[in-house]
Structure 1
């Protein structure tokens, strides 16, 4: 009887190890896949820099928005990319606007934390506009 119980206990332990291994491998695989999708389709840090168009500092001088036009080549339309520069954080930059089929940027500040870019109102530093997802 004891050998039968020991066999069942050992079998249970092996089963738990196999299930745990599959769960860990599955979670790691899902994490890598999820990051890959983010990197390919959502990461605004991978956008082309483009050619400088214009810039506009915020009324209180905390931020500056800089607009660039990107030429994707013969088969891709021009696109406008706007980055937010944190003036008080040693020039830290963050892309906040990306729109295709545009060659110019009209930048204006509504107040110290709200910028209007080509008709899109963004509350900085949290908001962003990306034509691929909005």
Structure 2
């Protein structure tokens, strides 16, 4: 009887050690994975952290509701050329958000199609909901 109890107790200790090891490994992966995932997202996918750049032009929509400002930013690192960032400003609230991030464009072509649609380098965007980011093609 004592031998049976000792074996059960040993089994229970092994299972507890296995659970503790698994929990520690999972905590370690999460502790590293969450910050790394955040950095990767903000640097490579989010349009909220784009470089400011130099303003090239600013165009107001036909009904004066929106203004699109176009900025040119030099590429980072060894890459040559420029990128274009389009920032939309809503007149009523003053809210600003990036709606266009284009690669390999020195001189952008910008034209309002109507009150809610703008064409930037032949990409037509509905300013109420659309965005264009060349990194997602």
When normalised by structure 1's length, the TM-score is 0.79
Distance in structure 2 (CA, Å) of the matches to 1:56 and 1:130: 20
Greater C-alpha Rg: 2
Matched, 1:50 2:67: no
Count of residues paired in the alignment: 133
Matched, 1:107 2:110: yes
Aligned to 2:126: 123
When normalised by structure 2's length, the TM-score is 0.77
Q: After superposition, where does 1:1-134 map in structure 2 within 5 Å?
A: 1-72=4-75, 76-89=80-93, 91-134=94-137
Distance in structure 2 (CA, Å) of the matches to 1:116 and 1:77: 22
5+ residue gaps, structure 1: none
Cα RMSD, aligned residues only? 2.5
